[in-house]
Amino acid sequence: MFEKVIGWLKKSLGTVKKRLNQFQQPIKWIVIGYLVTVFLFVVSYYGFWMYLAVMGKIQLPDLLAIIRELVGPAMVGFVTFIAGCFVDLDGNGVPDHFEKEKDKK
């Protein structure tokens, strides 16, 4: 059973890595940075929770509120908007959003 889970995890990570490599460079770094930030906050939440459990005073509503805000719809929309600013469909190295602004002037 454990081998099946590890096999499925490796297959999923391979698929994620393949899709991530298809992204353009700035979008890739935004997505990776966001995921690393979320991961660090969640791991720190569990670490602090375990520390406080050992000390006998579990109470972490503020850190949980930060994590909820970090993975909430507003933050995901913000990251999506920022990543959308770096889309370059024609491949000339200038993001399409900035080309449109240049054409308006």
Render pLDDT for 28-80 as a digit per residue (tens, 0 to 9).
777 778 888 888 888 888 788 788 778 888 777 777 777 788 788 888 888 78
Q: What is the mean pLDDT of residues 7-34?
A: 73
* Residue boundaries of the structural domains of the chain: 2-104
The pTM of the full predicted model, rounded to 2 decimals, is 0.48
Q: What is the mean pLDDT of residues 80-85?
A: 77
Q: What is the mean pLDDT of residues 83-99?
A: 71
The pLDDT assigned to 3 comes to 82
The pLDDT assigned to 22 comes to 66
User: Residue-wise over 26-63: b if at least 16 C-beta within 10 A, else e?
Assistant: ebeebeeebeeeeeebeeeeeeeeeeeeeeeeeebeee
